[in-house]
Structure 1
Amino acid sequence: MTSQHQRLPMEKVFRDPVHDYVYIQHQLILDLINTSEFQRLRRIKQLGTTSLTFHGAEHSRFGHCLGVYEVTRRICDNFARNYPTQTPGDGGWDDKERLVALCAALLHDIGHGPYSHTFEHIFHTDHEALTVQILTSPETEVNQVLRQVAPDFPAKVAAVIQKTYPNPQVVQMISSQIDADRMDYLLRDSYFTGTNYGNFDLTRILRVMKPYQGGITFAMEGMHAVEDYIVSRFQMYMQVYFHPVSRSMEVILDHLLERANDLYQSHSVDAEATPHMLLPFFNNNFTLQDYLRLDDGVLNTYFNHWRDSKDSILADLATRFLDRRPLKSARIDNTTSQLVPELQALIEKAGFNSHYYTDINDSYDLPYDAYDPKMKKPRTQIELMQEDGSLVELSTVSDLVHAITGKVSGDQRFFFPKEMLNGSEQVDLFEAIYQTFQHHIQNDRLII
C-alpha cells in the first residue's frame, strides 16, 4: 500500500461557509488539491456572469469541488457505517470504492474554463472531455498523483465522470438527479447569491440515502426531504440561474469573444491588443497546456485591452461587459417571435450591428424528469425504497413532484440595446425608429 492510499495521521480541514468543515483524510486528496490544475479553479468563478446580478456570487469552482468532495465523503461514511456489503452482489457498499468516489467528486469540474459555458460555445470546447484529458494525460500533475495509486487508477476516476464505471452506486453519487454535485451547488449558490431558494435539508437526505444493487435509493420516510430538494432546485433555476440580467451579460460576453475571433480571422485585430493566449483557440488548434493557462483573469485582462480597440464594436462590447451595461430583453414566444426580424431591422437603422447587439436566448430546464428509456440521454430516476424492499419512482408517490415532472420551465428572450428604449444623442434623427420599436414592445405582447 502506497502512502497515497493511507489516511493522514491527523485529518486536515478547510473551513467552509456551507459545510462548516471539509475534512481531508487521505494523502491522495491533499496531493490532488495541491496540483496546479486544481489550484487553477480558484481563479474561475462558479457562476460566471451571475456575479453581475448577485454581487455576492464571487465563489469559485475550487470551493464547489471541495464541497462535492465533502458531500461524497459523508455519503461514503454513512454507507460504510450502515450498509456495508456482506456478500458479493448483495447491494451493500464496498468501501474499497471510497477512494475512486472521492477523487471523482473532487475532480469532476477540473476541466471547466473561464466563463465556462460561453467560452465553450464560441470555441467549441467540451469541459467534460477536457476533464477526462486532465485526468488521463501523463503531462498533468493530477495524472501523476493518481498514477501513484495504480497505473489504471486515472482511467477509473475518468470512467466515473464519463458514467461508464461498472459500479452504479459510485456513478450516481457524482451524477444523477440528486447527487453530491447538485446538492453542493444548490446550497453554495444559494448562500453566495444571498437567496434562500436553494436551501434544503442536506443532513436528512444523506441520512435516508441507501445503496442497493442498481445504484442509490432513498428510504420512503425521507420522501418529503427529497421533495424539498426538487422544489429548491426548481426555484434556483427560475430565480437565479435563468435571471435575465445574467443571461444578458452572457450574451454580451458571447458576442465580445465572437467579435474578437471574427476580427482575428479577417486579419483586422489591433496588433497591440492581440490576445496571444487566445490565438490557439481562434486557430482551433490548442493544446491542453494552452487551455490550462486560461482563467477569468486572463480573459478580463484582454477585455480591458479591447476597451481601447480601434474597432468600435469590440471596444463598445468590452466596455459594456466590464462596466456592467446589460442589454434589455423581452420575452418572446411562437406568436411574437415573428416580430424579431422587424425589430432587428429597426435596431440596424438606429446604428447598431444587429448581429452583435441582438440575440435570442433560450433557458429551459426540467425540474424533475421521470426515467424514459426512449430519451437520447435518459436521466437516472429517483427511487424510494418501501419497507418490503421494493422500489417506487418518486413522481408516482409524490403529488408535488408529479405536478412538475416533465414540465419544462423557463423562457425565450430577445435581447437588444437598452438605447432602443431610452433613445440616444441622436434621438431627434431616429425618433420615428424608437417610437416604432417601443410600440412593438408595448403593444405586441413582448414582456420586458
Structure 2
Amino acid sequence: MQEILHNEKLPMEKVFRDPVHDYIYVQDRVILDLINTKEFQRLRRIHQLGTTSLVFHGAEHTRFSHSLGCYEVARRITESFERKYPSKEAGDGLWDDNERLVTLCAALLHDIGHGAYSHTFEHIFNTDHEKITTEIITDSSTEVNQVLSQVSPSFPYQVASVISHDYPNPQVVQLISSQIDADRMDYLLRDSYYTGTNYGTFDLTRILRVMRPYKDGIAFQISGIHAVEDFIVSRFQMYLQVYFHSVSRSMEVILTNLLRRANELYQSERSGESVNRGFQPHYLLPFFNDKFTLDDYLKLDDGVLNTYFAQWEDDSDPILSDLAHRFLNRKPFKSARYEEESKDLLPQLRDLVKEAGFDPTYYTATNNSYDLPYDAYDPTSKKPRTQIELMQADGSLVELSTVSALVQAISGKVSGDERFFFPKEMLVNSEESIFGPTYEQFQAHIKNNQLI
C-alpha cells in the first residue's frame, strides 16, 4: 500500500528572480517552507566556489543560489517528463509523477550539508558533507526534517535515500546525481556566469528537450548528441580553466595551513606544552576537540571563519598571524608543476625554504587536482560512474563514447596536475636568493620535459 503524501499547493506560485534561469518557480508549499528553514538559509553564507572568488572576483555566489538553481532544473525536467513521457502502467519505464515531490526536495537539499569553506574544512576536520546532509534531513531536531515530516513520516528518509543513491527508482537518483544531472547543469552555467567565463555554457534547453526516462534511469535521444557533447566539453574546460586554477589552489593551501596552525596552538595550550594565551576560537573548539554536534556544525559559515582570521591577524604567534594576513589580503603562494621524474627535488626545495626562515610545514605543500571529464561505466571500479546512454530511433541504447569521437578522445583520460607551493618571497631578487639556483634547476627540469 503506497503511503499518502500530504502536499499542499501554494495559492499563487512564488518566483525568485535568477540571473541564470531568469525565474525559479515554486508551486509547492513544502518547497517554500524548506527554503525558509534556518538550515537552508545558512547556505546564503557559504560561497559556492570557496577561494575561487579570490581569482575570479565575480564568483561571490552561494550554495543557496546554486541549490535553488538545481531545484529549478529538476523542476523543468520532471515537468517535461510528465508532459511527454507519463507512465501508463507500472513497470513501463516511463515517468511516474508520484516521484516528482521527492525529486524536487532532493534537488533543493542536495548541498545542505556543505560546511564553511566546504572542501577545505572537510579535509582538515574529517567531516563529510554528504553524511551531514543526510543527518540534517533525517534528524528530528532540524527545521528541514520537521517540514519534510509533514508530507509523511517516512518522507525525510526517502529524500535522504535519493542523495545517498539508495532510492529504488534509478530515474530519480540519476536526475540528481549522474554524469549529466540537475546539479551539474546548474553549477556549470552558474559558475560560468559568475566567474565571467564562457567555458561552462551549453544548450540547457536542448538537453532538457532530448532528455527522457527509461526503465533503468535517464537517457538522451541520439538526435541531441551534439548538445550532450557540448556539455561534456564545457565541464572539461571549466575544470581546467576555473576549478583547478593554481592561485585558487594556493589560497586553499594557505587556508588549510592556517586552520592547522590554529588547531596546533590550541592543542599545545590544552596539553600544557605552551603558555596559556587564552586561545579560544569558541565555534571551532568542538572541531579541534573532534567532538562536534550537528548544531556545532551548523553554527559555522564562511563569515564566522573570516572573523576568526581577522582576530588571528593580530595574534602573537608569527605563523598564525602571517597566514591569516596572507589569506585575508590575498597573498597567494607561488607554485611549480612537478611529476614523478621531478619529485625528488621537493625535499631539497623544502630545505631551502626552511633555510630562508619559513617553516616548511606551513609554508610549503603539494597539491594535486585531477578529474575525469567523462568515464564510461566500469562495474569493477571502486566508484563506478553512471554512463551516458543515447536512445536510438528503435528504442535501443548506445553508450555516448562509442558513437562520439569527440567524447571518446577525452573519455577515461584524467586531466589536471600536481603542484609544489612555496612563499612568493623565495623568488624575490632570485639571483641573490638562496632559493634561486634550485628553483631555476627545478623549472629547467620541468621545461625540458615539456610539462609547462
1:400 aligns with 2:406: yes
1:367 aligns with 2:373: yes
Structure 1 runs (4+) deviating above 6 angstroms are: none
Q: d(CA) in 2 for partners of 1:72 and 1:302?
A: 38
1:411 aligns with 2:412: no
Q: Quick one: which of 83, 92, 95 aligns to 1:93? A: 95
Q: Quick one: which of 244, 247, 250 aligns to 1:245? A: 247
Q: d(CA) in 2 for partners of 1:334 and 1:60?
A: 37
Aligned-partner SS, 2:347? helix
Trace 1:17-96 onto structure 2 (pairs within 5 A).
Answer: 17-96=19-98
Q: d(CA) in 2 for partners of 1:269 and 1:259?
A: 16
Encode CA deviations 1:367-421: one digit per residue, 9 max, x unaligned: 0000000100100000000011000000000000000000100000000000010
Encode CA deviations 1:96-144: one digit per residue, 9 max, x unaligned: 0000000000000000001010000110000000000000001100000
Q: d(CA) in 2 for partners of 1:81 and 1:144?
A: 31
What residue in structure 1 maps to residue 428 of structure 2? 422
Q: d(CA) in 1 for partners of 2:440 and 2:98?
A: 66
What residue in structure 2 maps to residue 336 of structure 1? 342
Which residue identity is paired with 2:397? L
Q: d(CA) in 1 for partners of 2:299 and 2:407?
A: 43
Which residue identity is paired with 1:120? E
Give the drift of 1:7. Answer: 1.4
Are the counterparts in 2 of residues 359 and 414 from structure 1 also a CA contact under 8 Å?
A: yes
Give the drift of 1:273. Answer: 4.7
Give the drift of 1:434. Answer: 2.8
Are the counterparts in 2 of residues 263 and 269 from structure 1 also a CA contact under 8 Å?
A: no
Provide the aligned C-alpha RMSD in A.
1.5
Encode CA deviations 1:224-253: one digit per residue, 9 max, x unaligned: 000000000000000000000000000000
Encode CA deviations 1:247-292: one digit per residue, 9 max, x unaligned: 0000000000010011111115874552110000000000000000
What residue in structure 2 maps to residue 444 of structure 1? 445
Give the drift of 1:438. Answer: 3.0
Give the drift of 1:10. Answer: 1.0
Trace 1:129-140 onto structure 2 (pairs within 5 A).
Answer: 129-140=131-142
Q: d(CA) in 2 for partners of 1:418 and 1:212?
A: 54
TM-score (norm 2): 0.96
Aligned-partner SS, 1:216? strand
What residue in structure 2 maps to residue 5 of structure 1? 7
Aligned-partner SS, 1:22? strand
Encode CA deviations 1:125-183: one digit per residue, 9 max, x unaligned: 00000000000001100000000011100000000000000000000000000000000
Aligned-partner SS, 2:417? strand
Q: d(CA) in 2 for partners of 1:269 and 1:359?
A: 29
Which residue identity is paired with 2:93? G
Q: d(CA) in 2 for partners of 1:323 and 1:273?
A: 23
Which residue identity is paired with 2:265? L
Which residue identity is paired with 2:285? L
What residue in structure 2 maps to residue 264 of structure 1? 266
1:315 aligns with 2:321: yes
Which residue identity is paired with 2:219? T
TM-score (norm 1): 0.97
Q: d(CA) in 2 for partners of 1:279 and 1:439?
A: 43
Aligned-partner SS, 2:141? coil
What residue in structure 2 maps to residue 433 of structure 1? 434
Q: Quick one: which of 172, 189, 192 aligns to 1:190? A: 192
Unaligned 5+ segments in structure 2 are none
Are the counterparts in 1 of residues 59 and 195 from structure 2 also a CA contact under 8 Å?
A: yes
Q: d(CA) in 1 for partners of 2:78 and 2:275?
A: 53
Taking every aligned residue pair, what percent have the same amino acid on both sides?
A: 69
Q: d(CA) in 2 for partners of 1:307 and 1:269?
A: 19
Which residue identity is paired with 1:174? I
What residue in structure 1 maps to residue 294 of structure 2? 288
1:214 aligns with 2:204: no
Aligned-partner SS, 2:390? strand
Which residue identity is paired with 1:445? I
Which residue identity is paired with 1:50? T
Give the drift of 1:189. Answer: 0.1
What residue in structure 1 maps to residue 282 of structure 2? 276
